[in-house]
Structure 1
């Protein structure tokens, strides 16, 4: 393979060892670097002139520096699998516990011994497989539950996700991942309803009824005196076509009867509880004599 083909395949990034194998001496690489033709990204890892430092280049450079025992993990792995369109300022790598590399600017190291089943080769890089990548990323991102829901819709099935969680219990972030797993596994959406109830109680809002009968339907949570209905959509990955159509028919029936309707997802309740309660309070307060808040 020629030097040019390696640079094309690796987004302009190359290791010193690769360059030497292609007949470029170490002294030549040093000279090109001094002259600004190549840029040193990490020890013995370079970006050739004419190439931009893209997210792909940053991930490749980090992995080439760490070596083949490393695995790209977390948000960088999610990017590599096509689950995200960008990475964080730092590339996360997972290394065996006994590895002695030290972190460098732009690279975060996690030390854990990964089961072989949790790594995979993708475009000549060793990365954590999709289930573990999903868990690691979900506990890293601020909107992690939304990311997890989207991943369950598009990239990974729940049983595989759960098995990856069980294999990695005790790792950093596993307790938070466990809470997400429990919520995501609740097919009746009762986890979301319980969370809504706890938010209402904490805010001192009363006058609501769970499972309020409404013709052939039941409203998830209703304020009958205020004629306010709240529907909790839970996790999108659970919703099939029949459930989607039923929910929309119920929503139409509610509004035809002159009720106000608010819809919240599990992620609204989990990620933005203050804004959710504020919107409910505003809806109750907009109608005279409908507010049911303790004084």
Structure 2
């Protein structure tokens, strides 16, 4: 590829080695830099334009500086593929484990992986890890289980991957943090839980307290199609789990109109947020149990532990 083609492909970034391979002398490169036509971004890496560096240009600069086989990874790859909305303060790159980047690169975090030839995407630009591998990389460095849950559910909720694809990628990993939790969670995502909030409700409210199984992410057709987070159809009870996204401004009025229509049709709606489900799942379970019982459920909720608000019942 000629110099102009490389610069176009790499968002205006070029390495010294590439420029020389395209026929530029070291003297010409230095003149381009000293004259202000090019500027040095990292050692041996130049921007061939003036003005701020777009994000893709920053990524290319990091990949070129990291050298042979390097790709964008972790949160950087996640942002490039639409898995998250903020790229974070540093650019993440991964290089093959058989080589070492000698000097620290400002604004760049370097990771190493033996599996990189298999996990890099074959064609995307800037070069990056495959999306399923990006998710697992982020799970592996997640400091808290809730962070790991967030990456897995985001990939499925944004329709970027599926539980089956993620499970397949997980099977190919010999070592990964949070493996038992992620394996269990992928099965729950198949059932329809699409966020950490919904997973928490499934595990700590419904299952832990012996409540009947709800239908998750149920599509209800009418004058307008709506999606119900958890639908206990037999008991005409709907549970809405409200994260911050989609439930502010117009979203809040849309929720209210939906709840009102459900009430007119004879359904009850209970609505909970993070503070309820993460803060006091036992209280949520107790409230749901009361409504379910009033609507015909003949079962009994069970205590999930010593401090549970639902009393333990002795079976005769």
- Shorter-chain TM-score: what band? 0.5 to 0.7
Matches within 5 A, 1:1-295: 1-50=1-50, 52-102=52-102, 103-114=104-115, 116-123=117-124, 125-138=126-139, 145-153=149-157, 154-170=159-175, 174-176=176-178, 178-186=180-188, 187-188=190-191, 192-193=200-201, 195-197=203-205, 210-211=211-212, 217-218=234-235, 230=239, 259=268, 261-263=270-272, 268=274, 273-274=278-279
Cα 1:86–1:218 shift into 2, 3 Å = same
Match of 1:180, SS state, is: helix
Q: Which residue of 2 aligns with 1:240?
A: none
Provide the aligned length of Structure 1 versus Structure 2.
Answer: 249
Q: Is the 8 A contact 2:16 2:45 kept in 1?
A: yes
Query: What secondary structure is seen at the aligned counterpart in 1 of 2:69?
Result: coil
How far residue 184 of structure 1 moved from its aligned partner, in angstroms, is 2.9
Secondary structure in 2 matching 1:110: strand
1:157 CA displacement: 2.4
Q: Is the 8 A contact 2:37 2:49 kept in 1?
A: yes
Query: What 5-or-longer segments of structure 2 have no aligned partner?
Result: 215-230, 243-257, 289-307, 311-316
Cα 1:293/1:167, change in 2 over 3 Å: closer
Shift of 1:61: 0.9
Relative to the length of structure 1, the TM-score reads 0.66
Q: Would the aligned equivalents of 2:259 and 2:269 in 1 still touch at CA under 8 Å?
A: no
Q: CA separation in 1, counterparts of 2:67 and 2:203?
A: 45
- Secondary structure (helix, strand or coil) at the match of 2:271 reads strand
After TM superposition, give the deviation of residue 15 of structure 1 in Å.
0.7
Q: CA 1:66–1:231 in structure 2 vs 1: closer, same or farther (change >3 Å)?
A: same
Separation in structure 1 between the aligned mates of residue 130 and residue 236 of structure 2, nearest angstrom: 40
**Does the 8 Å contact 2:167/2:186 carry over to 1?**
no
Greater shift, 124-133 or 189-198, is seen at 189-198
Distance 1:259 1:90, change over 3 A: same
Rounded to whole Å, the distance in 2 between the matches of 1:129 and 1:101 is 22
Deviations 1:228-287 (A, max 9, x none): x74569xxxxxxxxxxxxxxx9996667669551155xxx489x823x769959x99xxx
TM-score by length of 2: 0.62
Alpha-carbon distance in 2 for matches of 1:21, 1:212: 64
Cα distance change, pair 196–88 in 1 and its aligned pair in 2 (3 A): same
Unaligned runs of 5+ in 1: 202-207, 221-228, 234-248, 285-291
CA distance in 1, matches of 2:97, 2:181: 26
User: Equivalents in 1 of 2:232, 2:65: separation in Å?
Assistant: 65
Give the match's secondary structure for 1:111: strand
1:16 deviation in Å?
A: 0.8
- 8 Å contact 2:95–2:116 — kept in the other structure? no
